[in-house]
Amino acid sequence: MRLLHAIGNAFKRGAVRRPDGAPPLLSPAPEVEPPHPPDQESLIALVNSFPYWYQRIYLGQGVYTLPTLQLHNYVWRAVETMLPEGFQGASVLDVGTNAGYFCIQTKLKGAGRVVGVDFDDRYLKQAEACRAIWKLDIDYRQADIDQLQLHTLGQRFDVVLFTGILYHLKNPLGVLEQVADLCNDAIVVETEVISPAHRNIVHVRQGPFGRTVVTPCTSGFMKFIEKDELNGDSSNWWVPDEACVLGMLRTAGFKYFSQPRYLGETRMLVVATQQPQSIFRIT
């Protein structure tokens, strides 16, 4: 409930940020154009028919859903550098797909079956509108992945995209275990993390049974967000540190890791694979 409330607020915030009369969402067109897009006026009307966009997606004729580059655009650039051959027909699951930016990008880079999951119908409507303009075969599903029901998708995927979602989950480790169960090759995790720049110390009991000692630990933490301390957004629940993210991925079953990359002081990107051979080049 509080999550829906937060998203409602996000839509409201977006409406304030982009009022009527805001500059048109036009930029120099990128190299790839959707096939036979509607005219520019219709595309701008489509963008403006939604009160809020989180993702910046190109719709053709120079029209974007948002005027400026966003975090996910930089995440994609970083992901692309680890994909020398593209997706080569790989199946892709995009968890927390939002308006489907990563589904569109993976499809354009040669992915086979692509499924995007989100629990917010308003974002899925945006995803469907963008998909229709690009005329791509993408399957969007509405589901709350915190309910630990990913197995109901009934299939496995070569690649799972898990960007901007970990800290929104009440059950992050349980969901990662489910994701690992249905992932053949790799997971791309991008998440808010505890800043590595500070020397945090937690004193906690450690040691073998019967000989534990309160020990200062410098990593392996996850901070609980009880209310809306992060970003005024009550849909955030946990902020892990880097060691915690890698440890949860190992616990879930992933074995090989790219060097974690920071896209800002508290945003980390890592690719983890089940086998040493992967479509991602992570070394």
Q: Which is closer to ligand SAM, CB of 74 or CB of 200?
A: 74
109, 254, 117: which is closest to 188 by C-alpha? 254
Q: Which long-range contacts (CB under 8 A, 24 or more apart) does 222-229 make?
A: 222/172, 223/194, 225/167, 228/6
In the complex, the smallest distance separating the C-beta of residue 233 from ligand SAM, rounded to whole angstroms, is 9
CB 113 within 8 A of CB 91: yes
Amino acid (1-letter code) at residue 188: V
Considering the complex, what minimum distance in angstroms separates the CB of residue 96 from ligand SAM?
A: 3
Q: What are the structure tokens assigned to 71, written together?
A: 């975090």
Rg of the chain, C-alpha, whole Å: 20
CB of 130 to ligand SAM, least distance (A): 13
Q: Which residue's CB is nearer to ligand SAM, number 188 or number 249?
A: 188
> Distance between CA 190 and CA 239 in Å, rounded?
12
Answer left, alpha or beta for residue 140, where phi above 0 means left and psi between -120 and 50 means alpha: beta
Report the residue number, 42 or 223, with the smaller CB distance to ligand SAM.
223
* 238-240 and 222-224 beta bridge pairing: antiparallel
In the complex, the smallest distance separating the C-beta of residue 77 from ligand SAM, rounded to whole angstroms, is 13
Whichever of 68 and 277 has its CB closer to ligand SAM, that residue is: 68
Work out how close the CB of 122 gets to ligand SAM at its nearest, in angstroms, rounded to a whole number.
8
- Closest distance to ligand SAM from the beta carbon of 217 (Å): 29
Q: Which is nearer to ligand SAM, 85 or 229 (CB)?
A: 229
Give dist(CA 233, CA 168) in Å, integer. 10
Residue placing its CB nearer to ligand SAM in the complex, 18 or 56: 56
Do 188 and 163 form a contact (C-beta atoms < 8 A)?
yes
User: In angstroms, rounded to a whole number, what is the distance separating the alpha carbons of residues 140 and 113?
Assistant: 11
- Identify the sign of the CA torsion 145, 188, 233, 114: negative
Positions that interact with ligand SAM (CB under 6 A): 54-55, 72, 96, 98, 101, 117-120, 123, 144-146, 163-165, 168-169
**Which residue, 73 or 219, has its beta carbon nearer to ligand SAM?**
73
| CA–CA gap between residue 162 and residue 176 (Å, rounded) | 9
